[in-house]
Amino acid sequence: EAQVTQNPRYLITVTGKKLTVTCSQNMNHEYMSWYRQDPGLGLRQIYYSMNVEVTDKGDVPEGYKVSRKEKRNFPLILESPSPNQTSLYFCASSLKRGGFYEQFFGPGTRLTVL
């Protein structure tokens, strides 16, 4: 089954404790990205990746890191989480050959930073 998986689905942590949210897709997609969703603000892109070893900042990259060592995986790293990073996070992937295509979203990770 074609899908995007994220782990964990729920996480409660404390300020400053490094964490990683994993994202994996099995569709051989080139383009992967991370979004955060906050009430009234819609989906805001954090980082995206055009392919292996190619990453770039989205609209709200501060406080986040990503890596793309393999085509299928795109982990999101919070080196020192703060309460303002409490949010619902979505990973997404799509084909990217010239133009943009349908984004496939993961189920989401609800993060609370105390």
Among residues 52, 58, 65, 71, the one that binds other proteins under rule CB under 8 A = 58
Rank residues 15 and 28 by Cβ distance to other proteins and give the closer one.
28
* Rg of the Cα atoms in the chain: 13
Contact string 2-41 vs other proteins (x = CB under 8 A): -----------------------------x-x-x----xx
Burial class (CB in 10 A: 0-12, 13-18, 19+), 74: buried
61 is a site residue for other proteins (CB under 8 A) = no
Comparison of 69 and 98: residue with beta carbon closer to other proteins? 98
**Burial code of 23-53, b = ≥16 C-beta within 10 A, e = fewer?**
bbbeeebbbbbbbbeeeeeebebbbbbeeee
Site string for other proteins, 92-111 (x = CB under 8 A): x---x--xxxxxxxxxx---
Question: Using CB under 8 A as the criterion, which residues of the chain lie in contact with other proteins when the complex forms?
Answer: 31, 33, 35, 40-45, 48, 50, 56, 58-59, 90, 92, 96, 99-108
